[in-house]
Amino acid sequence: MNLPPLIQTFVLHFGEMGSRWGINRTVGQIYALLYLSDQPLNADQIVESLGFSRSNVAMGLKELASMNLVMLKHKPDDRKDYFDTHEDIWDIVRNLVEARRKREVEPTLSMLRSIILEQPVTDVEKHAQKKMHEMHDLIEMLTRWYKEMQRLETERLVRFLNMGAKIYDFFQFKNKTDHPIETTSESD
Amino acid sequence: MNLPPLIQTFVLHFGEMGSRWGINRTVGQIYALLYLSDQPLNADQIVESLGFSRSNVAMGLKELASMNLVMLKHKPDDRKDYFDTHEDIWDIVRNLVEARRKREVEPTLSMLRSIILEQPVTDVEKHAQKKMHEMHDLIEMLTRWYKEMQRLETERLVRFLNMGAKIYDFFQFKNKTDHPIETTSESD
DNA sequence: CTCTGTTTTCAGTATATACTGAAAATAAAG
DNA sequence: CTTTATTTTCAGTATATACTGAAAACAGAG
């Protein structure tokens, strides 16, 4: 690896963190490199920069593509595949969260859906099923909320996030006065 | 392992998912078992239920304790340590998210903090640093928002999440009319 | 069609992580 | 203090995951 120190630190960090983020070192480093690069890179350039085997890089890129974290691009008169990350960092967040939801949440949700349909026999099972139901409802609630956020375009999402504290006050206010809040025509 | 089928399915699923959630099979299964149990369990009972070695269970419990996902309890005239999960499922979420933030976000944030202080030399480094700055600001923003949510008590948090769609409308409304919204005395 | 540059696959190997059993540490009870 | 119940540590081993190199598949150019 022979990268400018600033870039190297970042790339190595992403490699190390990879395992905590459910991706491996190779994938982490490749993503970091592409994120910092001011132009799309091809697999050979990545091999050159990071020192992994060609096949390992190919697999890493495939995984990143499956998570919609990299985009395939082409240059005129060049048959090589070039890879790039999204321009808008919020698109990165959206794709990242979606990929993790699919991997980490969706399987559990469907397991819960099927299991709460079954008939509990003993009291122990009854209690267990109640807890599972509780978890199921919570995940569904968070998922519903997440899907709504996912639809917000960047500008509104940012504004919404920056409102955080004020929204908190807003609910405090609502709570104290007990007046329903008119936002659109719809009410609670 | 000899558990009621309903419980066994759930426990095994948590074990399998463990690796995707950054915990291992043992930790996943132990947590699942404790979550479903209607009473605190001691290490021997967990060994009995799951078939892991005593030491593996001890390590798993230690890890769960470090993430504040299990609580230590004692019974009268019994020297054994008993473990239990939180009553309120939202407390579980709060502790879970906090544990993951510490592991998965905090180290990156401090790496970024230190790296954006350095002096870039080349144009390539300048561009890279700009991208790092962008990432840093985004993570800080999300963290700030998260900390505010973390402070909300369960009832308000649930109400807030259920508002999701309406808040979206609310911003649409704001956007169209361009009137600042009065919530408390403070304004934008 | 063949040739050439490129990507993908996959069996084998290396590395990292999880797990165990035995021994050490701890802490309550006598 | 010693004894006994319990938890923790840790070196060694097993298992799972990552990584490589060689070969196969693919795709555009002639």
**A160-179 confidence digits (pLDDT tens):** 888 875 765 665 555 554 44
Check whether B35 has a pLDDT greater than 90.
yes
Structure letter (DSSP) for residue B118? S
Strands B41-42 and B71-75: unpaired
**B54-66 helix and B43-50 helix, angle to the nearest 10 degrees:** 120
Q: What share of chain A is helix, strand, coil (3-state, %, to 5)?
A: 70, 5, 25
Average pLDDT over residues B33-47: 97
Average pLDDT over residues B22-35: 97
Min Cα distance B60 → chain A (Å) is: 17
Element at A134 (helix H, strand E): helix A123-151
Check whether B186 has a pLDDT greater than 90.
no
Min Cα distance A125 → chain B (Å) is: 7
Determine if strand C comes within 7 Å of the CB of B62.
no
Average pLDDT for chain B: 90
In a domain, A134, yes or no: yes
The Cα B150–Cα B75 span in angstroms is 32
Check whether B178 has a pLDDT greater than 70.
no
Shared domain for A48 and A80, answered yes or no, is yes
Residue at a domain's end among B67, B84, B101: B84
Among residues B94, B36, B24, B105, the alpha carbon closest in space to that of B63 is found at B24
In a domain, B14, yes or no: yes
Shared domain for A62 and A134, answered yes or no, is no
Which residues of chain A are modeled with pLDDT < 50? 177-188
- What pLDDT score does B1 carry? 81
In a domain, A185, yes or no: no
- What pLDDT score does A172 carry? 57
Q: How many pairs of residues across A and B have Cβ atoms under 8 Å apart?
A: 160
Shared domain for B62 and B94, answered yes or no, is no
Shared domain for A113 and A169, answered yes or no, is yes
The Cα A155–Cα B34 span in angstroms is 43
Determine if strand C comes within 7 Å of the CB of A77.
no
Between residues B160 and B37, which one has the greater pLDDT?
B37
Average pLDDT over residues B39-59: 97
Residue at a domain's end among A37, A63, A84: A84
Q: Domain range holding A21?
A: 5-84
Shared domain for A21 and A65, answered yes or no, is yes
Shared domain for A98 and A48, answered yes or no, is no
- What pLDDT score does A174 carry? 56
In a domain, B47, yes or no: yes
User: How many other β-carbons are positioned within 10 Å of the β-carbon of residue A72?
Assistant: 11
Shared domain for B78 and B114, answered yes or no, is no
Element at B56 (helix H, strand E): helix B54-66
In a domain, A182, yes or no: no
B2 burial class (0-12, 13-18, 19+ CB within 10 angstroms)?
A: exposed
Average pLDDT over residues B144-171: 82
In a domain, B56, yes or no: yes
How many structural domains does chain A have?
A: 2
Percent of the residues in chain A that have a pLDDT greater than 70, as a whole number = 87
Shared domain for A94 and A169, answered yes or no, is yes
Shared domain for A125 and A144, answered yes or no, is yes
In a domain, B105, yes or no: yes
Min Cα distance A45 → chain B (Å) is: 15
Residue B17 CA, nucleotide D16 C1', distance (Å): 14
- What pLDDT score does A175 carry? 52
The Cα B49–Cα B43 span in angstroms is 10
The Cα B182–Cα A166 span in angstroms is 10
Check whether B159 has a pLDDT greater than 90.
no
**Contact at 8 Å (CB) between B15 and B29?**
yes
Q: Do B151 and A168 touch (CB under 8 A)?
A: yes
Determine if strand C comes within 7 Å of the CB of A78.
yes
Shared domain for A133 and A93, answered yes or no, is yes
From residue B69, alpha-carbon distances to A127, A138, B90 in Å are 20, 17, 12
In a domain, B179, yes or no: no
User: How many other β-carbons are positioned within 10 Å of the β-carbon of residue A186?
Assistant: 9
Check whether B11 has a pLDDT greater than 70.
yes
CATH number for B61: 1.10.10.10
All protein residues with a CB under 7 A from any atom of strand D = A 19, 24-27, 51-56, 59, 79; B 19, 42-44, 54-55, 58-59, 61-62, 78-81
- What pLDDT score does A168 carry? 59
Token representation of residue B120: 């870039």
Residue at a domain's end among A84, A108, A141: A84
